[in-house]
Amino acid sequence: MRIINRNKDKQTFERSSYASAFKQLSGAAIFVASVTLVGCGAPHIKGQDNVATTTADILRTADGKPDLSGIWQTLSTADWDLEPHQARKDAPPGLGVVVGNVIPYQPWALEQKKKNFDNRAELDPRRKYVMPGIPRANYTPEPFQIFQSDKQLTFIYEFGQTVRTIHANDTKHPEGHIDWWIGDSRGHWEGDTLVVDVTHFNDQTWFDRSGNFHSDALHVVERYKPIGPDHIQYEAVIEDPKVFTKPWTISLTLYRHKEKDFQLLENYGFTFDYEKFYP
């Protein structure tokens, strides 16, 4: 069904029918990317400064799509705080992953966020090891594994019981609203980018340990763009008209685990308090 082409072998790549189509597309893609950058009006797009679009280095499946299979993890401190922050007792420092640095809260929601922050040690849903929601699952500081087929991608996260299917078979979201912890994910490919529309969320998860939050009106559009064999530039546009004044974007890099025989373990942390009863 699928083989991994290591397209560093340029000859292999050139022979594939996808290669010629890609050449035509790449010029357009660069143009679109430039327009996007200008259109955002953001002189500094986090995480994208050193994005060399060396598409020849991307691993590809037999049908020419980028192959996202592998075990990935963020090196950012996004899970502690999406926004730029200095070191504090309960968080390592970070430049932040929010494009434009500031999350555009409605006034009431900013007050709520501050309350959440003040009580973060008790209120962060993460401490109960529930599923962290999307996009937070992707920058939880633990690895996750992507398995890819032509109809669907399976994301298995080490943290909690989180298993996620991204349906990539032209199906639509089920009718709703449905309160799900990690929502309903439907994906498609735009060139070398996997674009995933995620909806049907509950209001029970936070974006980070700093109390950044959302309502059940959350809608996330994710973009997974490989920028080499071992890196994915991950972007998520976050929209929630009940909480924010406008959509906002996070951007961060996912790194492939290269250690020999690396694998996911388990973190069913909700069992910790009870394990003493089952020696």
Partner 1 sequence: MKQDLKTFQGKGEAIVNYQINIVRAWIPVLLSCTLIAQPGFAEDKDHAEKPAVWVPNKLSDGQPDVQGFWRPANQGTYSLVNPRNGQDGKPDKDGKIPKRPVKPSRIIDPADGQVPYQPWARAKQQHVQANFNNPVSQEFIDPQARCFPGGVSRQQWWHNTEIRQYPNYVVIIGDADRRIIPLDGRPHIPGNIKLWMSDSRGHWEGNTLIVDVTNSNAKHRLSNEGDFSSDSVHIQERFTFLDANTYQYQATYEDPRVYTRPWTVSSKQVRANTDEPDFEAWEYACIEGEKNTDNYITEKIVSQ
Pairing relation of β-strands 163-167 and 184-190?
Answer: parallel
Q: Does 244 bind partner 1 (CB under 8 A)?
A: no
Task: Tell me the torsion sign for CA atoms 185, 99, 240, 208.
Answer: positive
C-beta closer to partner 1: residue 5 or 76: 5
Cross-strand pairs, 165: 154
Q: Which stretch binds partner 1 (CB under 8 A): 16-24, 35-43, 145-153, 216-224?
A: 145-153
**Of 26, 29, 129, 247, which lies in the binding site for partner 1, with binding defined by CB under 8 A?**
129
**Of 119, 149, 190, 241, which lies in the binding site for partner 1, with binding defined by CB under 8 A?**
149
Kindly give the residue spans of alpha helices, DSSP state H, lying in the chain: 10-15, 17-40, 107-118, 120-123, 136-139
3-state secondary structure of 60: strand
**Of 94, 160, 187, 226, which lies in the binding site for partner 1, with binding defined by CB under 8 A?**
160
What is d(CA 50, CA 64) in angstroms, rounded to the nearest whole number? 25
Task: Tell me the torsion sign for CA atoms 52, 166, 252, 190.
Answer: positive
Cross-strand pairs, 156: 145, 163
C-beta closer to partner 1: residue 201 or 248: 201
What is d(CA 236, CA 163) in angstroms, rounded to the nearest whole number? 19
Q: Does 263 bind partner 1 (CB under 8 A)?
A: yes
What is d(CA 222, CA 175) in angstroms, rounded to the nearest whole number? 20
C-beta closer to partner 1: residue 117 or 129: 129
**Of 55, 69, 74, 251, which lies in the binding site for partner 1, with binding defined by CB under 8 A?**
69
Nearest approach, Cβ of residue 243 and partner 1 (Å): 21
Q: Does 278 bind partner 1 (CB under 8 A)?
A: yes
Contact track, partner 1, 197-216, x by CB under 8 A: -------x------------
Q: Which stretch binds partner 1 (CB under 8 A): 52-60, 73-81, 94-102, 258-266?
A: 258-266
**Of 42, 62, 195, 217, which lies in the binding site for partner 1, with binding defined by CB under 8 A?**
62
**Of 48, 73, 106, 161, which lies in the binding site for partner 1, with binding defined by CB under 8 A?**
161
Left, alpha or beta for 160 (phi > 0: left; psi -120 to 50: alpha)? left
**Which residues lie below 8 Å from residue 39, measured CB to CB, with a gap of 6+?**
none
Q: Does 1 bind partner 1 (CB under 8 A)?
A: yes
Q: Does 12 bind partner 1 (CB under 8 A)?
A: no
**Of 25, 42, 45, 156, which lies in the binding site for partner 1, with binding defined by CB under 8 A?**
156
What is d(CA 95, CA 78) in angstroms, rounded to the nearest whole number? 9
From 39, 84, 97, select the one nearest 249 (Cα to Cα). Answer: 97
Interface residue list for partner 1 (CB under 8 A): 1-4, 62, 69, 129-131, 145, 147-149, 152, 154, 156, 160-161, 163, 165, 167, 171, 174, 178, 180-182, 184, 204, 261, 263-266, 268, 270-271, 274-275, 277-278
